[in-house]
Every structure is written in C-alpha cells, then in structure tokens.
Amino acid sequence: MSDEGPAIAKRKADHLEVAASGRADFTRSTLLEHVHLIHQALPELALDDIDLTTSLVGIRPLRAPLILTGMTGGTAEATAVNRDLARAAQATGIAFGVGSQRAMAEHPELASSYQVRDVAPEVVLLGNIGAVQALAMGPAKVAELARAIGADALAIHLNPGQELIQEHGDRDFRGIVDAIARIVDQAGVPIIVKETGCGLSIEAAHALVRAGVTTVDVAGAGGTSWVAVEAERAVGGSDAQSLGTELRDWGLPTAVSVVACVRAGLVTIASGGLRSGYDVARALALGATAGGMAAPMLRAQRAGGYDGAVREIERAIASVRSVCLLAGCARAADLARAPRHLGAPLRAFLDDLELRTK
C-alpha cells in the first residue's frame, strides 16, 4: 500500500467514529417535524394490506421506500459495516449504498471493503464517487467503478462544504455540471446525484435537470454535518477547525430541499437527519419517493451487528406502514396526497424561497 493508502484509511476510520458518536450532529433540525399528517380515525384499511413497494431508477422494486445511504469503505471496519448492512438491506428488501469509492479507485488494494455481492446478491446496490473525482475520471472509468462492485446504479456525490474544511480537500468545483451531463449520457448505468449533508437548492435541482439527471438524494441539513466531521478531525486551533466550527450548521434543511427537488420534477430520495420511519413518512408526504438513513443504521450495526441492523430497519418499515394506516393511505406513495399541515417554520422557509406548497 502506498503512503497515501494508510492516510485514506485513517480518514475513513475517523469519519466512521465521529459520525457514529453524534459529535458532528447539526444543532438545528431537518424541519421534517413540521410536517403534520392528519389523523384518520376511520381508515378502512388493514395494516398487513398496505403496499410499501417502491421503484427506484428502473431497478427492481424495493419492498419498502427505504435506502441505507452510502457511508463508508476503505478500512477493515468499513468492510464489516458494509457487509452487515448490505445483508440486512437484502433481508428486508430495501436498497443499500456504499461510501465514496475514491479510496478504491486510487488504491485498488482497498476494493474488498466495498464488495458485498457475495453476501447480498440480490440487494439493490448503489455505488458512489465524488463529483470532482468523476470529472477527472470521465464516464468510462466512472462506469467501471459501478461494475467493479456489481452496483445497480451509481451515486455521484456533491460535498463542497466538507471539502473546504478537509485538509488537502478539493477547492475547485468548476465543470461539475458538464461532467455530470456527460456521465449521464455515456456511462450506461443509472445515475443518482446526491449531496452529503448540506442539501440541494432549487437552483441546483434545475441545473441537474438540465444535465439530464432524473433522480437525486437531497442529503439535507439536520443530521450529521460533514463540515463538523472535518472540524472534529482538524488540528486543534487550526484555521480548518475554526472555519468548520463556524460553518457546522451550514446547509438547507432536508424538508426544504425535498420540496425544491420535487418541485423541479426530480425523483427525490430524502436523506439527511431522518431518524425514524415517521421521518421517512413525513418526507414521502412532501413528495419524496424514498427516505435514506445512515447514522441510525451505523449505530445499530455497531451496537448489534447484522441482527441489530435488521431490527432497526424493521422498526423503520413498521413505522412507515403504521403512519400510512393512520393517515388513511393504502400505499406509501399515497402519502404525497394525504391531508397534512405544515408548521410555521417550514412554511416560512418555503415561502421565502417561493416554494410554497399546499
């Protein structure tokens, strides 16, 4: 392994430890708590008959509208996390994404930490690479990353906030939109564009639509702040630590970002601070197709391995199903049309951005 290999592995290990600890959680919320579905005392439904199946970028249907979003890769611990969570996702019929494959692309000896097909042959699997790296690689090499792990689709992640705090992080984000357009056109694999904790604005959503993107993961503000993660990792008293502390709450709340992307006509995955099936259901009520969870599943895996992850997923799915019944919805997709009230903080945010919704 080159000298850079251990450095990347150390960074990935640090990311896992800080994210799992909760030290880098946002101090402000996703605003999803201001989505109030209206209780239906006469639902005329049976809980077991509620249909949670969900389609995603043309891949085989999910049994529930839930994705374990990309977290890690590149270390021994990451190998165990990815394999446990991929197995759990397959057992429960949901999707699973690996963390950034940059470590694997630059250091092929780390590729095994992303390999899960042998333990989860039928899971809907999402690869992952950063947009700056995708620009440098070009469509053919980006597609090869997906093929190398048997991924059904590839997430291209956007993380300028995190990179600005990370030592030796990217500082030049020019050409990203054109690169994404070329990849969508030429890679031959479904592409999902995702943020990493700062959300997607209506302006970003429209730019992605023009680039040919059809599916996004908003990864909004309110969960783990990757700006704060890098601040935690920075040398004490450094400029990076100071800037990261100052900007740790930077980003667009998840609920607002969901509305923006749905309004732009994008198939929208809601992630960033979703901590329960109820949060997933609230995001579906705003028009999201599925909800993504990361930190709760990482913590469940750390506490109980594969079995702990399965239990956490099953709890989330049961919660979505229960909310559907209580809101009078026979299908998870019907939550987008269910009666609801938006609390004042969320309504005010949407009004200020001219994203008013019913």
Does any domain span residue 213? Answer: yes
pLDDT at position 321: 98
* Residue 19 forms part of a structural domain: yes
Residue 208 is part of which domain span? 4-352
Work out how many domains the chain is built from and give that number: 1
Q: How confident is the model at residue 1 (pLDDT cuts 50, 70, 90)?
A: very low
Can you tell me the distance from the alpha carbon of 248 to that of 240, in angstroms, rounded to the nearest whole number?
Answer: 12
With respect to residue 245, please indicate whether it lies within any of the assigned structural domains: yes
pLDDT in tens, 272-303: 999 999 999 999 999 999 999 999 999 999 99
Read off the pLDDT band of 72 (50, 70, 90): confident
Report the candidate in 291, 167, 294, 281 with the shortest Cα–Cα distance to residue 224.
Answer: 294
| Average confidence score pLDDT of the chain | 93
Least confident of 2-16, 154-168, 225-239: 2-16
The verdict on residue 357 lying in a domain is no
Mark out the alpha helices in 41-168 (DSSP H runs): 76-92, 102-106, 131-137, 139-149, 160-165
> For the residues 52-70, what does the mean pLDDT come to?
94
CB 215 within 8 A of CB 194: no
Q: Which residue pairs from 178-183 have beta carbons closer than 8 angstroms and sit at least 24 positions apart in sequence?
A: 178/211, 179/131, 179/134, 179/135, 180/131, 180/134, 180/156, 180/208, 180/211, 180/212, 180/213, 181/210, 181/211, 181/212, 182/138, 182/139, 183/134, 183/139, 183/142, 183/156
pLDDT at 314 over 50: yes
pLDDT of the residue at 69: 95
In this structure, is residue 358 part of a structural domain? no
Q: How confident is the model at residue 80 (pLDDT cuts 50, 70, 90)?
A: very high
CATH number at residue 125: 3.20.20.70
82 belongs to a structural domain: yes
**Each residue's pLDDT tens digit, 111-141:** 999 999 999 999 999 999 999 999 999 999 9
pLDDT digits (tens, 9 = 90+) for 144-186: 999 999 999 999 999 999 999 988 888 999 999 999 999 999 9
For residue 56, the surrounding DSSP H or E stretch is: strand 54-56
What's the token pair of residue 232?
């935690």
